[in-house]
Amino acid sequence: MDKFKFELHPDKETRQTTKGGTNFNKQLQEEYSSLDNASLIEQLIAAQIENARLGRQNRILEQKLSRREEELSSLEELLETHTHALHMRNLELESSREQLSISEDRYRFLSLHDSLTGLANRILFTERLREALLNAETQKSCVALIFIDLDLFKIINDTYGHYVGDMVLKETAGRILACIGKKGLAARFGGDEFAIFIEPCLGRSELELMCEKMRMEIRKPIPLGNMRTCFVRASTGFCCYPKEAGTMEAMFEIADKNMYLFKKENRKLKK
């Protein structure tokens, strides 16, 4: 059996071929490895270039964003300044409007009232009296008109001066208001003349009592300061609508006539 044994040994050529193939494979691997490294390097360089480009774009965008934020901040400050200025202007306008309203109210009051006594003036008095007469005509009621004139008031002005005269007029106005209360409207027609209308009208006897009460109150001493006082008297006359007069003008005429008749009678009594 030994003669039939074979030994499988590669021959020299085969060994050389095998050795050459191995070297070739290594060479190929090195070339491919070199190619892969070059590709990776190119990709890395390309990535770095792209990153640099993106970085520049980011910096540009950040700069633009920063400028936009600064502009926005400036606009917000400007808006806040304008808003504050507008608020202050609105306050000034509101204050001016209030002052104008007060001035208008004050002007309206002064145009319808006596500046010294605060009583109604002739304009307001006649307007309200006309309304009272219309109301009386509708309600079938009556209205009383009373005239008051201070006696010898000129002597007080000449003796004590106009300052004391004004004090007397203001004090007299206050006493008249205290006597009539809310029953009617009192006015100063000028100088030392006053007028009152009462609505609804009292009876004649009650009107006489009211006039007497006012004359008594007006006669009370008026303090002037420094322990000084003065005295003033008053004459009164009244008229009733519609019993004694059918119009406002007729009421004025009759009340004025009755007042001067009363003044004349008082002078006779003093004599």
Which positions are annotated as active-site residues? 192
**Alpha helices (H) along the chain:** 12-112, 122-139, 153-160, 162-180, 204-219, 248-270
In this structure, which amino acid lies at residue 254? Answer: I
* Cα dihedral across residues 106, 107, 113, 114: positive or negative: positive
Report the DSSP beta bridge partners of residue 233. 151
| Number of residues in the chain | 271
Neighbours of 2 (CB within 10 A): 4
Report the DSSP beta bridge partners of residue 198. 144, 184
* Cα dihedral across residues 88, 94, 97, 99: positive or negative: negative
Distance CA(4)–CA(229), nearest Å, equals: 176
Distance CA(257)–CA(187), nearest Å, equals: 18
CB 114 within 8 A of CB 225: no
Distance CA(66)–CA(145), nearest Å, equals: 85
